[in-house]
Amino acid sequence: MNYFFLLLAFLIGISNAVQGGVNSQLRLATQNPLLSSVISFGTGFIGLVFCYTIFNKDPFPSLETFRNITWWKWMGGLLGAFYIVTVIFIIKDIGPANMICLVIAGQLVAGVLMDHFGLMGFPIHTVNTWRILGIGLIVGGVVLVLKN
């Protein structure tokens, strides 16, 4: 098991919680949740272009490569936009802890289903008692955190 990758995954969780707060404050500053989402994605896009320019050593793919990509493989950005816009809309009302708990519960359920059926090219890891117990514990944790 690569512990560095585990640490990075943990840091992603921290950044998601902080990102929600930052974007919530951006919403207050702009008084517009959609504009806040555009700004958030815009700064992210600029950062990615910067990193791509500096760190990428591979040649840029041909136009034909892009034409051969199936429609659903382009949806990642839209799913990211859904996440950002939704967080900006809900985090102030439900709070970051409740939001993150529900996001994690949704991610775990979706991840276990994707593993079980080998969706999107992932290797199959069938649902077993331990995975069901893990989902139950996460959902139980969500219920406990939601109790204010």
Cβ partners under 8 Å of residue 71, min gap 6: none
The answer to whether residues 113 and 60 belong to one domain is: no
Instruction: Report the alpha-carbon angle 92-10-13, nearest 5.
Output: 15
Distance CA 83, CA 87 (A): 6
The answer to whether residues 52 and 81 belong to one domain is: yes
The answer to whether residues 59 and 127 belong to one domain is: no
The answer to whether residues 86 and 133 belong to one domain is: no
The answer to whether residues 28 and 87 belong to one domain is: yes
74 SS3 class: helix
Q: Is residue 5 part of a domain?
A: no
Domain containing 23 equals 14-93
Domain boundary among 70, 93, 116: 93
pLDDT band for 142, please (50, 70, 90 cuts).
Answer: confident
- pLDDT tens readout for residues 48-100: 999 999 999 999 999 999 999 999 999 999 999 999 999 999 998 998 888 88
Average pLDDT, the chain: 92
Distance CA 116, CA 138 (A): 18
Domain boundary among 93, 121, 140: 93
The total number of structural domains in the chain stands at 2
Helix (H) or strand (E) holding 18: helix 3-30
Distance CA 61, CA 67 (A): 11
- State the pTM of this model: 0.81
